[in-house]
Each structure stands twice: as structure tokens, then as C-alpha cells.
Amino acid sequence: MSELDTLSFPAIQYTIWAADLHGHRFHVKLRIQDPALNGQVLQMPAWIPGSYLIRDFSKQIETISAYAIENPNHSLELERINNDQWRLPNVSGPVEILTTVYAFDSSVRASYLDTERAFINASSLCFSVKGQELSPCALILVPPKDTSAVDWTVQTSLRAVKTDDQGYGFYLAKNYDDLIDHPIALGEFQIAHWQSNGVPHTMAIQGCVHEIDLERIAKDLQAICTSTINLFEPKTKQAPFGQYLFLVNAVLAGYGGLEHRDSTALLCRRDQIPQIHTPLDEASYREFLGLCSHEYFHAWLVKRIQPAAFQPYQLDRRNHTRLLWLFEGFTSYYDDLQLFRSKRIDLKTYLKLVANNWNGILRGPGRLKQSLADSSFDAWTKYYQADENTPNAVVSYYGKGALLALGLDLKIRHFTREQQSLDDLMRLIWQEHGVTLSGLAEDGLDHLILKLLGKGFTNTWNEFKEKFIEGCEDLQLQKWFNPNFISIKIKTQSKLEKIKLQLGLRHIEASGWLKVTHVLDGGAAQLAGIAPGDLLASINGERITAARWDKVLSSLNNEQVISICFYRDDLQHECMTILKNEQIPAQYELTPAD
């Protein structure tokens, strides 16, 4: 009998092991000590919190079987209710369900397994037991039998109860939501440690061939994390967790992150990680630090301060809220701001990042059609299922949401004569909805803003909300910046930049051709009849290739009539269009005031 066998297990128990590294398959065993007498329903989540898209994780289940513990030789017949639900037959006594799940999603949103590493999001591997989601549950991690994985260790923030030196063994979760909120990485890691306000922090990185500059990473992240803790708790300086884990997968090409209560899963390029004796692009590293800052901020805003619409998560359906501009947009505002406050970047660099985001939003025609509130509500279908028309129909609640946070910050500072700022509002939201874990109602920010600033701010807030949250107007940041601190001017654009904006199309290289991916409303390309999927052949008789694109465009002039030859469905087309200045959106430069 092993030591694990002597432990007192909860009524819901999961066992996960990497069964087939080459075939990318996990085996997952679910033991239910007391299934419902009327037939227990098993539910595989359709999405993972933090990523607002129905992903139908059940589609990766290859095999499923069930049996009663008291009669393991007799299988139980499972009733398929729909694509992600199964019902057990009426049975007394404990049962076990064994599934084989294919896992080859290298993002941070699902699970992955190969001969180099394993990554587990329990939401894509483990059933919930309907009616018992609030019950404590156990997770047993079994080491892979494949000899190529003999040196793998386990990295997770899930509560370990009885594990070996490599991290395999017995873990506990408070409930199913807690279980799926702790991703697990297996493999070989380079690990950085630091403390922020006495709280242990760890970054476990896999995928880098060279030795990582762990000392630099620890120094930079220590400053960022400390600054964020102090933002929310300037008096107590206490974090809402006892430890925090950054799980980083470094790859050739990829970028993204997903927040969890005590950890985050990050995907980045290898060249974004500082490695000893290896050249580092500082701008790329800054982008990585911004990603870390963003997901860390979510430990407060999203994981503890939540929309009421997310309490509890309904993982079998879309959970709509009109507040993602707050939860993601405000986080996007603070991620770079915290880099500046922690002295990881200077003011000039920070303002350039703000201007880049602002200019990018202004170049998107969709900002004039979709409000931030609607963008939040439609995230499930429009933002996360982007297509060729997305730039014309959608505004990013990340990008414009960050600008909105900046605008509100400037408004609060002006109204209070620099006595208060958005920081004070964030701390109030934290105390009333984060510490208490009570969800924020769809109109809940109204009360908090007026509680902070008084009735004198009512008209300002109502107008601000009507124009920029529920409406589609551009934020007037150029009017709100204090010229004593920030200098703002219209950006001087090169001739080539102007021509590209006038033309209004985006493209990729495809087998030697330039393939159109997006055509922007009002641009010369749209007026000419060019469509996504077209292959550009020539402009004014000059052959177009990726190498010649800038050269050909540089030969064009404003108000010039141009001819474009392109292919659609292998048929040649020719069209005429004209380049006009009014098709160019305003672009801005921000610099520190002299």
C-alpha cells in the first residue's frame, strides 16, 4: 500500500497521467464517491474563464468509459445528453470514469502534451460533477512512464498535500472552480525566485535553449509586482495571495497570457526572454514585462473583482457582460503604467506606448460603429472570432478601454485638482468588490464614482459614459492632457506612411504574392473594389512583391489616380482609384513637456 492510499480523499477525485507523449494523449480518471441516485451528470466545460470564446473542449475526448468500483468488471452505460454532457445510470456506491483526451493546443487556454513538455488546464481535461461543483476535490498527478520524461518536474500553485521531489502526487482544491484555476506545467524549467512585500513569487520558464538571465528577470518582476501590490493596498501592502507563480512557455512565435487567482500562464517568443551571452531586443523584452504586468494585475481585477455576471461562471454557455472595457481595458492601461512607476521604462518610452495604442485605435474604422459596451458584450462572437471585416466593425475593449481609463484618470485629476486619481477609484473598487468578492453590477461603477467624487461629478461622468462607453465618439485626449506635464502634437507622417493610410488595406505574403487580408472602410482600395483574398499584381503597371511594396508606393502622390491589377479566383481584374488626404486619420505624438 502506498502513502497516497492512506490519505483521506475527498468525494471527488481526479487522477491525470501523460499516457502517450508521441500521440499527445492524457488519461484522466474521475472517481465519484457518492453519485446522485437519479443519475449523475458529467459536464465538460465549453470555455475557460478569461478567454471569452466557446471552445467545446469535449471534442478532444477520444474514449470514455465508466464502471462501479464494487464491480469493476462490469462497465456502466453512459447516456450522451449533448456534446459536452454525459449521464451516469442509477447506481449505488462509488464509480470511476476513465477518459482519453487529445491535447495538442500550445496556447495558454487548453492542454498540451509532447515529448518535451506537458501543460494542463483542468477545464479542458476534467469533468465537473453537476450538483457537486462546490465540493472539495483531489487531484493525483502520476509521472509519465516514458523515459524521455524522467527528469520532468511539476510547477503549479495548486495546494500540494503529499508530493515527491519532482512534484508528483496528491493535491487538493477547494472546489471545481479552484481546481480549474490552477494550471499545471510539467517539463524542465529555468526558475527565478523573488519576494514582493514578503510574498514568494516564482517564474518557471521552459523552451529556452540558452541560460536565462534569471537575476534580471527577478529584479524587474520584483519591482513590478511590488508596485502593483502597493497600488491596491498602499497602507497594508498586503497581497491577496500567499504565493504567486508565472508559468512561461517560450516558443519561436507566439504571444499571450491567461490570468488565474494565484498564477498566470504566459506564452512568448524566446527572443523576448533575456538570455546570457545572447543579444536582446529591449523593446521585445519590455513587451514581455508588459504581458507579465497585465496578467498579474488581473489577480485583483477579474479574479477577485469580478462582474456579477461571472458569479458563478456558467461554463456550458456564454457569460455576457458589458464591462470588459473595465476589466480588460483598465488592466491594459495599468500594465504599461506599472512599468513606468516601477522604473522599468522612462516617461518618454511610456508616452510612446500610449501614443502607439491611441493611433492604432484611430486607424480602425470599427471604432465609429461599435461602442465599448457593445464590444464587451459581443466579445464572444466578434472580438474572439475575428474575420476580414473585423477592423471595420469592431473596436478593441483592450485598446480603447485603456484609452478610456487614461481619459477618466485625467478627468478625475482635473476635477479634484490633482488630489485624487484613477488609483483612488481602483482602491475603492477593490475594497468594496475585491476584498468582499461581491460581483460588480453592470451599472455598479456609477455608484462607486459618485461615492468617490461626489454629486458634483455626476454630469461629467454621465456625459463621459454616454459618449465614450455607450457611444462611439473618439476620446478627446488631446484636450485633456495637462500641457505642463505632457506635450501633444499631430504626428508628422512620411509620404510612404500617408500613402499606406490612404490606400487602406492590409496584406500578407503568400507564395510570392501579396494577399489582401483586410480592406478598410473609406480607403482607396475599397473604393476600387478590392476585397480580402485578392492577390495584388501591379500598381500603375509596376509588379508588386513584398520586397517592392514600399518602393512602388513611394512613387505615388496625393490626389493621383492609380490603376491596380489583381487576381480574384485566378481571374485577372483591373481597377482605378484615387488617393485622398481625407482618408488619413489624425495621428498623435506624446512627449514629456519641456
| Residue 325 near residue 375 (C-beta atoms within 8 A) | yes
Q: Which pLDDT score is estimated for 266?
A: 98
pLDDT band at 37 (very low <50, low <70, confident <90, very high): low
| Residue 549 near residue 514 (C-beta atoms within 8 A) | yes
Query: pLDDT, tens digit, for every residue of 50-96?
Result: 999 999 999 999 999 999 988 877 889 999 999 999 999 988 889 99
d(CA 445, CA 381): 25
pLDDT band at 583 (very low <50, low <70, confident <90, very high): low
* Domain assignments of the chain as residue spans, ordered by start: 4-187, 190-282, 324-480, 495-583
Kindly tell me the burial class for residue 372, based on how many C-beta atoms sit within 10 Å of its own C-beta (0-12, 13-18, 19 or more). Answer: buried
Domains 4-187 and 190-282 share a fold: no
> Which candidate, 472, 537, 446, 49, places its Cα nearest to that of 264?
49
User: Per CATH, which fold does 324-480 belong to?
Assistant: Neutral Protease; domain 2 (1.10.390)
pLDDT band at 586 (very low <50, low <70, confident <90, very high): confident
Fill in the DSSP letter of residue 491. P
d(CA 49, CA 316): 11
d(CA 82, CA 97): 17
Q: Which pLDDT score is estimated for 8?
A: 62
Q: Residues 495-583: name the CATH superfamily.
A: PDZ domain (2.30.42.10)
Q: Which pLDDT score is estimated for 515?
A: 98
* CA distances in angstroms from 38 to 31, 41, 89, 95, listed in the order given: 17, 9, 8, 14
d(CA 212, CA 270): 10
d(CA 122, CA 15): 11
Does residue 7 carry a pLDDT above 80? no
pLDDT band at 35 (very low <50, low <70, confident <90, very high): confident
Of the chain, the end-to-end C-alpha distance in Å amounts to: 75
CB-CB neighbours of 88 under 10 Å: 22
d(CA 31, CA 4): 15
Beta-carbon contacts of residue 387 (< 8 Å; ≥ 6 apart): none
pTM value surpassing 0.85? yes
**Lookup result for grid cell 502520476:** 142
d(CA 190, CA 207): 9
* CATH architecture assigned to 4-187: Sandwich (2.60)
Sign of torsion, CA 522 528 534 539?
Answer: negative
CB-CB neighbours of 444 under 10 Å: 18
Strand, helix or coil for residue 459: helix
d(CA 266, CA 250): 8
Record the cell numbers describing residue 438, joined without a space: 461581491
> Which candidate, 248, 222, 12, places its Cα nearest to that of 134?
12
**Lookup result for grid cell 450522451:** 80
d(CA 400, CA 412): 18
What is the chain's mean pLDDT, rounded? 95
Query: pLDDT, tens digit, for every residue of 306-330?
Result: 999 999 999 999 999 999 999 999 9
Q: 90 vs 487, which has greater pLDDT?
A: 487
* CATH architecture assigned to 190-282: 2-Layer Sandwich (3.30)
Q: Which pLDDT score is estimated for 38?
A: 59
| Residue 203 near residue 248 (C-beta atoms within 8 A) | yes
Q: Which pLDDT score is estimated for 123?
A: 98
For 329-337, what is the mean pLDDT?
98
DSSP of 62-79 = EEEEEEETTEEEEEEPPE
Secondary structure of 419-436 in the HEC alphabet? Answer: CCCHHHHHHHHHHHHHCC
For 520-527, what is the mean pLDDT?
94
Residue type, 539: I
Sign of torsion, CA 342 343 345 350?
Answer: positive
Q: Which pLDDT score is estimated for 3?
A: 43
DSSP of 133-192 = TTS-EEEEEE---SGGGTT-EEEE-SEEEEE-TTS-EEEEESSHHHHTTS-EEEE--EEE
Q: How far is CA 28 from the centre of its chain?
A: 27
- Cis peptide bond prior to 483, omega within 30° of 0: no
Does residue 255 carry a pLDDT above 80? yes
Q: Which pLDDT score is estimated for 181?
A: 98
